[in-house]
Each structure stands twice: as structure tokens, then as C-alpha cells.
Copies of this chain bind each other. A is one copy, B any other.
Amino acid sequence: MILELADIRIQTGKNAEFEAAIAHGVKTIIAQAQGFQGWKVNRCIESPDRYVLQIFWETLEDHTERFRNGPLFPQWRGIVGPFFAVPPHVEHFELVEKSA
């Protein structure tokens, strides 16, 4: 399993609208993608314009190739993109270790 971690900065003051939009976007668009296995979004306490979105994919290519080059990506960006202050910083991760 691969973790996609997206570091997001939104336009100041749009928190409630963004939180509704990102939940809607994941549940209606990303959840349809091949290899999608789950998600989580957290709001930063120190930097209230910052969010971290975690999406779990079966393989790296499920995100980087099939999702990003497929028809779902523009639908997703159409929902969340208007809130972004800058392009999100996105990288992928493998699990090293975690608590039980």
C-alpha cells in the first residue's frame, strides 16, 4: 500500500467551504478510482490555512498514472482546486513502521 500525502494551502477564511468540498470530492470522485483504499484529511492548528490530505492507494501507479491521467482528475480538481492558494505539494510514501 502507498500513502499519498498532499500538503495543501487554501485561501484564508475558506475553511468551512473547503472542508465540505474536499470530503465531497474524495467521496464522489476519488473513491471511484482504481486502487483507492481510504483517506484522511487533517487541519493544521498552527497554520489554519494548511491541510494535509492522506490517500491510500494499492500501488503508486494507481495514483500517478491511472488517476492523474484519467477522467476523474479534472473532476476532482474542479471541486477542490478553486480553494488552493498555491499548488499542493504531493509526494508518496511507504510505511516503515507503526504502532499496533
Contacts and interface: CB of A to CB of B under 8 A. Distances in A.
Interface of A: 2-3, 5, 19, 22-23, 38-47, 50-52, 60, 91-99
Chain multiplicity (copies): 2
Contacts of A19: 96-97
Q: Closest 4 CB pairs between A and B?
A: A42-B93, A40-B98, A38-B99, A45-B92
Contacts of A94: 42-43, 45
B52 A5 contact: yes
Nearest to A96: B41
Contacts of A40: 95, 97-99
Contacts of A91: 44-47, 50
